[in-house]
Amino acid sequence: MWGGQFAVGMADTMQRINASIGFDQKMYSQDIAGSIAHAAMLAKVGILTTQESETIIAGLRVVLQEMELGMFEFKVELEDIHMNVESRLSELIGDISGKLHTARSRNDQVALDFRMFVRDALFAMNQELTSLLLALLQRAEEFADTIIPGFTHLQTAQPVTLGHHLMAYLEMVIRDKGRIESLLTRMNECPLGAAALAGTSFPIDRHLTAELLGFDHPCRNSLDAVSDRDFALEFLSTASICSMHLSRLAEELVNWSSTPWGFIRLSDMFSTGSSIMPQKRNPDAAELVRGKMGRIAGGWTSLLMTMKGLPLTYNKDMQEDKEPVFEAYEQWRICVQVMTGMVGDFTVNAPRMREVAAQGYATATDLADWLVRTLQLPFRQAHHVTARIVKAANEAGCELVDLPLALMQEVEPRITQEVYGVLTVEASVASRQSFGGTSPVRVREAIAAARATYGP
């Protein structure tokens, strides 16, 4: 395809490092779709005859069918998906196949294929995240009243509900979906027709090919069209942020399912055993979700480093853009699917959650708030008084709700029996009725709002 001025062939090692067919064959359907649109456009503007275009398109559909059925032989010596398709097309329809490459280059062709692949992957991931969102929503509604300890610094802070906790992850998923939808809008420009870098002298209709391929419009600058990989970087960034969210939730599931915590039990479908310890139930699915985040984020870093020093326009370094995206997509998708499964079927030990939530003086803030509301103490003074009462409870070996009133009154004489009404974890949770708070009333409102947007 380009050997006219070369006297000898490639070195074997050069052929191996240069070829991309080992991975870019994943883009076969996008490559053929782009070629079909290009052939239709060439006929529309009179560069090809209608008969030539129809012959080329029919041949391309045969190639597509062979690939879909696993009957296609990919050849390393043809370097990439584009030339593998073109070579097979030539075998099927003869020299007329050579007219397909009029007014385009492999530079704009690969930019198109890759952009379409990423677009398809984003559509798929948006659906996967919707499934995860609905699973979180279902479990949040189920556990809207179930009390669980809330932590800061992994230390007992205040009681919350499990429903509220799960809805926090739902908010992360909503942001992940928002990043996907924003990227889909931003990247939906068609590079086809930019040719090698400068556009083409042929009278093509780039708006037509953009429309045929589902793009909003053509890329506006031919140099940028063939050299832009922002869409791939943003894909990897989005995947990395989302997988970080999944990793955080996975960490919670690992902790909650451990024997010292005993909050939940992961089902047999997402647990493994030990080859030596018969009693073990290992949360391997959650641990693998947690572990794969590094691979996904590593792909983001890899492509950033590849792109950071490249001048305009296409450079062979950019062949390194696809494998990080392909792997990240594969890992991201399985992680979301596995997390959706785990969220959907873990079982809860509500008494244990409530027991731990009541430990560690988790209602101390409620005591301080009561002192402010009832005794009109400035909050800083109420904080100091509460800290002294917590110390008294610690010395007495009991929780605040069990501390005798007389001991509280040694710290603040105006405290009355009424204070015990705010010191249970149930009262604490119910009182947090500010917008976005953990009160079951607010949690159910948040669930209803999410269902109104994302469905039942």
Residues classed as catalytic: 153, 274
Distance between CA atoms of 322 and 21, rounded to whole angstroms? 11
In a 3-state reduction of DSSP, which class is residue 258?
coil
Asked if residues 251 and 245 have their Cβ atoms less than 8 Å apart, the reply is no
- Three-class SS of residue 159? strand
Interatomic CA distance for residues 246 and 293, integer angstroms: 8
- Whether the bond between 238 and the residue before it is cis, its omega within 30 degrees of 0, is no
3-state DSSP assignment of residue 190: strand
d(CA 249, CA 266): 13
Nearest to 249 by CA among 129, 142, 352: 129
Burial (CB count <10 Å: 0-12, 13-18, 19+), residue 229 = buried
Helix (H, G, I), strand (E, B) or coil at 148: strand
Q: Which residue has the tokens 């029996």?
A: 417
Distance separating the N- and C-terminal Cα atoms of the chain: 55
The dihedral over CA atoms of 274, 280, 284, 285, expressed in degrees to the nearest 10, equals 120
| Look-up of token digits 């479990």 | 139
Closest CA to 209 of 32, 41, 29: 41
430-437 long-range CB contacts below 8 Å, 24 or more apart? 431/366, 431/369, 432/158, 432/160, 437/164
